[in-house]
Chain A
Amino acid sequence: MRPQLIFAIVFAMLVGLSFVTGQIDPYYYTVIIFIGINITMATSLNLINGFTGQFSLGHAGFMGVGAYVSAIVSTYLTTHGMAAAGTSGDLVLFVALILGGLAAALTGLAVGIPSLRLKGDYLAIVTLGFNEIIRVIIQNVDFKIAGTSYVGGARGFAVPQLASFLWVFGIALVTIYFVENLINSTYGRGFLAVRDDEVAAEAMGVNTTGFKVRAFVIGAFFAGIGGGLFAHFIQYITPDNFTFLKSIEIVVMVILGGMGSTYGVILAAIILTILPEALREFSEYRMIIYSLMLIVLMISRPQGLFGAMTPGKLFRKSKSSPQKV
């Protein structure tokens, strides 16, 4: 089936589903929304970590930039301008998300360029450092425009509720569609080439630097939008929502799902959002289970639980192929 067709069908289903979300118990509704946001976050991180092979531990930083910038925009618009003129919340959210995503993309550019000379563990630590720098900066920003408080430093920032089921899953769908199409295009093979063998890719004329920066910028853009949705759903954000532990949580989704497997990562995002809720009474064991899972997985199955599976391959008899990480 053509991807456009799948996209259209899934989108139609989402629109249909969005009519019944009002009947869902608020608790389950929250979990469902978080699934959607986590899918966006994990799919966009997968572009950087999985497809381009640049191990980033700073995704929550981009998410934070997107969350705060979009929250500033929407708060400004709802208190000052458009809402008063009778414009709908959806338009406000759209503008806010786009600006939040662009701000995060700009941050991605700022992180990507200096990080290009680094590989593997160094890159991981530097992105983690950027994550912390972003968090510390947010913690120290606090300003007022015409009596309304913005950002609020460590206290937190109240955000209007605008994100709905359709928004969250629509964005998740767009992210998946964009990343999948990008990777499967002729152009997108460059990302995989950088991951598989940087030196060989360079020798074949692939602009490895350019691809790495693009991966960071695109990944950060969608992470920023995901952050914006997060802010406009939970309505109250603090810098502590975006520590590097959050980054690690997203990284775990990507690794568990299998780096470079969009479907695996989506599945992992769903499982890892539901699992902690289902195991709420064992919540103190959650991180212990996560960490043991990481260790055991790396030793026994480094390609992740779902490896390079696609829905098609699940039902076909698998041919044994050499395994790579």
Chain B
Amino acid sequence: MGELLQQLVNGISLGAIYALIALGYTMIYGVLRFINFAHGDVFMVGAFAGYFVANAISHVLPIGSVGATVVVFISAMAICAALGATIEYLAYRPLRTRPKLTVLITAIGVSLFLEYLSQLLFGATPRGFPEIISNEPFIKTKLVTVNIVGAVVIITSLVLMYALRIVVMKTKIGTAMRAVSFSQQAASLMGINISKVITFTFMTGSALAAAGGVLYGASYPSIDPLMGILPGLKAFVAAVLGGIGNIPGAALGAFIIGIVESFIGGTFLSTYRDAIVFAILIGILIFKPSGILGRNEVEKV
């Protein structure tokens, strides 16, 4: 019983990180109708940005202090927001009217570029992430232990998700985002600046991924240039599970994937963990391609 509960806690904390990545996938899919393959690598860059910022400021703000953690988060998010906007501007904007396949191949190119450029710049060997959030137990009972870092992961991601919800539902740019995702053409006829909305979406999505990257670094204390691939793919599975293009769906899907992965990790199937996540993806796409909360789309000729 205690072990199951512990797996559940670990799964929720892992799911919270996946959720931050999945939100970016789903938002970008919402406005542009394409899968940003490079999103997992933005997550990786976020982790590295956090790593370098934490080390750079360590003599002013000691690692582990609240001030340092806040600075690390904000700067990593800002760096990745800039990166997201740059990627969109240089690689995806020239292709906006081209066939989907062209954009997909470009996205694969961007993804490989980020991975191997980071490998060149930072080296392929994994680096230890500074302990910016303490690993001490936060709640400790006979049944289950929740570390401070686990609690911070869950709380931070819930706060960010709530903030995103407010931005999307209550602000002007959020309304514009929803309009663009509904119909780009109609939105542009209503005087919405499509490019601005797309840039904003990329910046928001990338900033969330960066936050996920820092949280990942803090909870699994080693980072490397290829660390974004699998979490990126799993977050994508989560976004599809929840219904791609649907923001609450992405969060829901991410928690499900995180918990499932954590439970499988504790059984004899643990070596098949990654394969099972992909099997889930294939299963959803065959039986319910619109996901749990997504709506069906009718293909028009």
Contacts and interface: CB of A to CB of B under 8 A. Distances in A.
B120 A130 contact: no
A132 B274 contact: yes
A136 B271 contact: yes
Interface string B252-289: 00000000000000000001101100110110011001
Contacts of B278: 129-130, 132-133
Interface string A225-237: 0000000000000
B301 A122 contact: no
Contacts of A84: none
A120 B120 CA distance: 31
Contacts of A57: 108
A117 B286 contact: yes
Contacts of A125: 35, 233, 236, 281
Interface stretch (B78-86, B99-107, B125-133, B165-173): B99-107
B116 A288 contact: yes
A290 B112 contact: yes
A299 B109 CA distance: 11
Contacts of B282: 114, 126, 129-130
Contact of A136 (B100, B102, B112, B275): B275
Contacts of B289: 117-118, 122
Given A120-B101, A121-B35, A299 B285 contact: no
A299 B282 CA distance: 31
Nearest to B244: A122
Interface string A122-157: 101110111011001101100000000000000000
B188 interface: no
Interface in B223-272: 233, 236, 240, 271-272
A24 interface: no
Interface residues of B, number: 40
Contacts of B115: 287
A118 B108 contact: no
Contacts of B100: 120-121
Interface string B72-105: 0000000000000000000100110011111111
A133 B102 contact: no
Contacts of B279: 129, 133
A284 B109 contact: no
B117 interface: yes
Contacts of A209: none
B112 A287 contact: yes
A285 B275 contact: no
A298 B100 CA distance: 11
Contacts of B301: 199
A258 to B, nearest CB: 13
B275 A291 contact: no
A129 B278 CA distance: 5
Contact of B112 (A114, A284, A294): A294
B110 interface: yes
A259 to B, nearest CB: 9
A233 B105 CA distance: 31
13 contacts: A114-B285, A126-B282, A129-B281, A132-B275, A132-B278, A136-B275, A284-B116, A287-B115, A287-B119, A288-B113, A292-B109, A302-B102, A325-B102
Q: Sorted from nearest, which 6 A-B pairs have the closest CB atoms?
A: A294-B109, A129-B278, A291-B112, A291-B113, A287-B116, A136-B275
Interface of B: 34-35, 91, 94-95, 98-106, 108-113, 115-117, 119-120, 233, 236, 240, 271-272, 274-275, 278-279, 281-282, 285-286, 289, 301
Given A126-B281, A126-B285, A295-B110, 18 more contacts: A55-B101, A114-B285, A117-B289, A120-B104, A121-B34, A126-B282, A129-B278, A130-B282, A248-B108, A251-B108, A287-B116, A291-B116, A292-B113, A294-B112, A298-B98, A298-B103, A298-B109, A302-B98
